[in-house]
Structure 1
């Protein structure tokens, strides 16, 4: 019954906000950050993903990010990315997808109303003038890139530990969740702030809150529906009416 109600609410909603995390891209072969086989296994974040690490050894940091960039460009969007792109086409201007991911797979799947809270592996940002530009294809990329406006060295256009999110992007995300009729939180542990607060903001403002995640999260007690499934299977059940043998609703 809960799933049927969620489908009804989602179909009727004119304003839908979605938050996605690493679990959405796991089925495309992009590793999540923590746990066995995670992105940080064998690495310490402070050695690769902080302003201090970059100041200390920019070549080492760029080599690691160039490896990650090549990895994500070899990956393909999975059904979860494509279903969310289709949901955007159905909802139009009332839809916003906010992602913590930096792999660009949502855009490659066709999503256009996207806020990339943590930046993108496919872009660089000038340390001197702030200009952003796309990276060339991985086979042609020789880090570090140089700014084509001022000649300054460019850094990966991602948010590192200890850095603030872009205030305008965060405000746009918060507005979408504050005004959403239905909010979906998919494939995220719901512990990394400030993105983790978006689901709570939506619920506090009266939205119907749907969570899709294989494991319970701190958001689970607040959710109107929690689907215990991976992103692709959970969205299949929610958006297309399919049911999987391992899926449970709480």
Structure 2
């Protein structure tokens, strides 16, 4: 039996990695615990397809594990002088503080798989080199997309970690390309990959997104705030620490660059008594501002409390937001797969988050990252491809045939983003950003026919939630929500003692307890959607019903059945 399983695994490997067929580089054998082990050496360029072959073998054979403990992943070596100029060697030596990089005879890892070349190509440094990119073939792109899609179908949904590369198609240059080739953040619109993540989050395939970007494109694409940790902040959001809980206000412009000409609050840098830079302001500084020496005062005042508003961008030397980091870590630990898109994984602590869990790590980037070998050793995959190309294949594998990367679709989605931006502008941005189940950007019709990653257990429901909606003349939306009986079960409402509707915390009040029919709240007026938590008290002898209703502004009426029994 054991010999048969080893032969089957070899067939999977030979089929997906023909470069290894008939070669003795990798051997299969059983250890004393009867666990299959891979022994030998594999070229890093073949390791992704090898891991996918092992994954398919485990899925088809019922085998529990294939150990990679004795498998060594190697990067092809080259002579430094054959792949660099003299100036590039000087820059490499400067960035790495390694004088061996001055010698053209030095043997190094191939530049496309060498993290030293990634660090040295950072254009924020005056001295930098040309970035080295690679591109995988279509077969590998599709194999990795299928690998990701398979993990998306698991109960929890995957966690996605995004860096500058996901926004490259929007015209925002990465650190490897330089700001001279970038459009302004305020002129950028979300990419197909951004919208695809919203669609996958809607169907339960993506559980959470952790982003290092400050361009705000995840929120503008419609990803709800409770599905996102913006570890380095958001250029479009300013916050008020005087409110409890702290309020967020979204603007259709970069809040730090767009200062008020007549600011109520101001902050400026002056020379302190010790000769160092200090902050002078007409409002109390936060603990973070006093510690870091960086002020975030935008000049605008909170429309609720009157306190000073501050931008949310995290600069070098400042601590990451505690809640965002803790939630990102918690989600990553529980994920069946952590998918990295467009990040070099060179900045801590974000670079460690994808490896917090026990599941594999998939890395999609155009250049080498600081964790390529670590991902492969854990059974993960690497892919040299653009974010849009990969996400297009992933949504196709998940059955979202209508969500194809076409100009017509992008025009529709971009138009909806601009419409929402205009609604924010008309309100002067003084409507707290309430995130949303989809933010009103991705139409529900595009998700029809897609299998849900989380099957709902709703059998013979007696109750239902009904939302009514109509647009207002100023671009906002009027809506109400009620609990009612399903047709033919009019007596079911007699068992309901009370209904609690938990709205977004920006509402005052944010919780409505309705203790007699009709069990209805509203009408309310706003421009963003969110999940309403609904708790139904059925009396002391029956467990309460707790569910979430995702608001939508796509139609005049939406009905959601409520499970009344486990």
Which TM-score applies when normalising by structure 1? 0.72
Q: 1:234 aligns with which of 380, 386, 390?
A: 390
Per-residue CA shift, 1:155-199, capped at 9, x if unaligned? 321111111011111110000010101110110010111110011
Q: 1:219 aligns with which of 371, 374, 379?
A: 371
Quote the offset at 1:152 in angstroms: 5.2
Give the secondary-structure state (helix, strand or coil) at the position aligned to 1:82: helix
Provide the rounded CA distance (Å) in 1 between the counterparts of 2:186 and 2:305.
28
Per-residue CA shift, 1:32-84, capped at 9, x if unaligned? 2x234238x9xxxxxxxxxxxxxxxxxxxxxxxxxx9x932321111110111
Kindly indicate which of the two structures has a greater share of residues assigned to helix: 1
Larger Rg: 2
Correspondence for 2:327:
172
Provide the rounded CA distance (Å) in 2 between the counterparts of 1:125 and 1:95.
25
Higher alpha-carbon deviation: 83-92 or 22-31? 83-92
1:146 aligns with 2:300: yes
Provide the rounded CA distance (Å) in 2 between the counterparts of 1:89 and 1:170.
23
1:81 aligns with 2:194: yes
Kindly indicate which of the two structures has a greater share of residues assigned to strand: 2
Q: 1:134 aligns with which of 214, 238, 249?
A: 249
Change (3 A) 1:194 1:182: same
Change (3 A) 1:19 1:5: closer
Q: 1:110 aligns with which of 215, 222, 232?
A: 222
Change (3 A) 1:177 1:133: closer
Provide the rounded CA distance (Å) in 2 between the counterparts of 1:107 and 1:167.
19
Provide the rounded CA distance (Å) in 2 between the counterparts of 1:125 and 1:23.
27
Q: Which of the pair has the greater relative contact order for Cα pairs under 8 Å at 6+ separation?
A: 1
Provide the rounded CA distance (Å) in 2 between the counterparts of 1:158 and 1:208.
31
1:96 aligns with 2:208: yes
Correspondence for 2:29:
none
Provide the rounded CA distance (Å) in 2 between the counterparts of 1:6 and 1:23.
18
Question: In 1, are the aligned partners of 2:229 and 2:328 still within 8 Å (CA)?
Answer: yes
Give the secondary-structure state (helix, strand or coil) at the position aligned to 2:203: helix
Give the secondary-structure state (helix, strand or coil) at the position aligned to 1:7: helix
Question: In 1, are the aligned partners of 2:164 and 2:342 still within 8 Å (CA)?
Answer: yes
Correspondence for 1:194:
349
Q: 1:71 aligns with which of 177, 181, 184?
A: 184
Change (3 A) 1:122 1:227: same
Provide the rounded CA distance (Å) in 2 between the counterparts of 1:135 and 1:108.
10
Question: In 2, are the aligned partners of 1:20 and 1:99 still within 8 Å (CA)?
Answer: yes
Quote the offset at 1:201 in angstroms: 1.2
Q: Which residues of structure 2 form unaligned runs of 5+?
A: 1-15, 17-51, 53-142, 261-297, 402-566
Correspondence for 1:124:
238
Quote the offset at 1:134 in angstroms: 2.5
Correspondence for 2:493:
none
Q: 2:359 aligns with which of 203, 207, 210?
A: 207
Give the secondary-structure state (helix, strand or coil) at the position aligned to 2:355: helix
Provide the rounded CA distance (Å) in 2 between the counterparts of 1:82 and 1:107.
10
Aligned-residue CA RMSD in angstroms?
2.9
Provide the rounded CA distance (Å) in 2 between the counterparts of 1:30 and 1:98.
19
Kindly tell me the number of residue pairs found equivalent between the two proteins: 208
